[in-house]
A = this chain, B = another copy of it.
């Protein structure tokens, strides 16, 4: 069994090893957000995405499927969106395979938390801007008793904050960060459908991001001064006024904002 991180969506961001394993697979057990790529016709693809209109697979059922197929002699690739271990329950699938005596290969992938901002022109770190970034799953909102995130500490920590699974809870998250003392003028970028042709980037501040309407999953939200250091390399022909601060840019550079900013 191979547990493979498929990257944020663009098939060019699959790793070389991931492509090798997919090309040699008998069965691909695929998440909803895993990238689509051409596979040999005789590869069986089983979609086990946990959301959407189709039937729902439980985590335990997915593990049982992987184990059953591998014990039957199939070369199984478990293909995830992003990385294998970023809010992906990868270690549970490793455990299930090892318990069944099956060898497991783990192939890390480009996490959406990093790859989506990068293609949108936003560096998660920049010299002189931040020495840290934090990636948080906001599938549980601030205040939920099951949540283990200390939003006050997160607000105080500063640096870059990358939010995954936050679309329906963006207002609550912004409120929690403001309540914790983070500057309301902190820039925020909301990247929907990152790395795909349907990508949409919206720039706001911590004070205004909570009121954004029509934010659709999947979206990656970046909170922090790095958003002001954004350079949209994909639309360099449209010059615009430089942002108020851009400490990371080279002195020789003309920072530009993009048409979709």
**Binary flags per residue of A90-131, CB closer than 8 Å to B gives 1, else 0:** 111011111100011111111100110111011111110011
CB distance from A121 to the nearest CB of B (A): 8
Q: Would you call A108 and B105 a contact (CB within 8 A)?
A: no
CB distance from A108 to the nearest CB of B (A): 4
Q: Scan residues 237-261 of chain A and give those whose CB is less than 8 A from a CB of chain B.
A: 248-250, 252-256
Query: Which residues does chain B contribute within 8 Å of A95, judged by CB atoms?
Result: 231, 248-250, 252-253, 255
CB-contact partner of A83 in B107, B114, B132, under 8 A: B114
Q: Would you call B135 and A132 a contact (CB within 8 A)?
A: yes
Quickly give the copy total for this chain.
Answer: 2
Answer whether residue A159 sits at the interface, using C-beta atoms and an 8 A cutoff.
yes
CA distance A250 to B62 in the complex (A): 12
Name A96's closest neighbour in chain B (CB-CB). Answer: B250
Q: Would you call B150 and A157 a contact (CB within 8 A)?
A: yes
Query: Which residues does chain B contribute within 8 Å of A229, judged by CB atoms?
Result: 91
Q: Would you call A254 and B98 a contact (CB within 8 A)?
A: yes
Q: Would you call A92 and B254 a contact (CB within 8 A)?
A: no
Q: Would you call B118 and A114 a contact (CB within 8 A)?
A: no
CA distance A106 to B12 in the complex (A): 12
Most chain B CB inside 10 Å of its own CB: which residue of A10, A137, A150, A153? A153
CB distance from A61 to the nearest CB of B (A): 12
The segment from A15-23, A40-48, A50-58, A204-212 that touches chain B is A15-23
**Binary flags per residue of A7-40, CB closer than 8 Å to B gives 1, else 0:** 1101111111101100000000000000000000
CB distance from A34 to the nearest CB of B (A): 15
Answer whether residue A69 sits at the interface, using C-beta atoms and an 8 A cutoff.
no
CB-contact partner of A133 in B121, B131, B134, under 8 A: B134
Q: Would you call A91 and B249 a contact (CB within 8 A)?
A: yes
Q: Would you call A118 and B108 a contact (CB within 8 A)?
A: yes
Name A12's closest neighbour in chain B (CB-CB). Answer: B17
Q: Would you call A124 and B12 a contact (CB within 8 A)?
A: no
Query: Which residues does chain B contribute within 8 Å of A16, judged by CB atoms?
Result: 11-16, 19
Most chain B CB inside 10 Å of its own CB: which residue of A11, A87, A117, A125? A125
Most chain B CB inside 10 Å of its own CB: which residue of A105, A121, A132? A132
Question: Can you pick out 13 interface pairs between chain A and chain B where the beta carbons lie within 8 Å of each other?
Answer: A12-B15, A16-B16, A86-B124, A86-B133, A90-B118, A91-B249, A92-B249, A96-B252, A99-B253, A131-B137, A132-B134, A132-B135, A135-B135
